[in-house]
Amino acid sequence: MNIEWWHWLVAGLALILAELAVPGMVLVWFGVGAIGIGLLLAALPGLTLTVQLAAWTVLSCILVFAWFRVFRADQHRTHAGMSGGDTIGEIGLLVREVTPFGRGQVRFQKPLLGNDVWECIADDTIPVGERVRVVAVEGTLLKVGQINKGDRA
> Per-residue pLDDT for 90 more than 60?
yes
pLDDT for residue 72: 61
Q: What is the C-alpha separation between 112 and 83, in angstroms, rounded?
A: 11
Asked whether the CA dihedral 99, 102, 106, 112 is positive or negative, the reply is positive
Residue-level pLDDT at 138: 87
Task: Choose among 31, 40, 29: nearest CA to 62.
Answer: 29
For 97-141, the pLDDT digits (tens) are 999 889 999 999 888 777 889 999 999 999 999 999 999 988 888
Find out whether 52 and 38 touch, Cβ atoms under 8 Å: no
Q: What is the mean pLDDT of the chain?
A: 86
Span 35-63, mean pLDDT? 94
Q: What is the dotted CATH code of the domain comprising 84-148?
A: 2.40.50.140
The pLDDT value given to residue 11: 96
Percent of the chain scoring above 90 in pLDDT:
59
pLDDT (0 to 100) of residue 79: 46
Q: Supply the pLDDT for residue 69.
A: 81
Domain boundaries, the chain: 5-75, 84-148
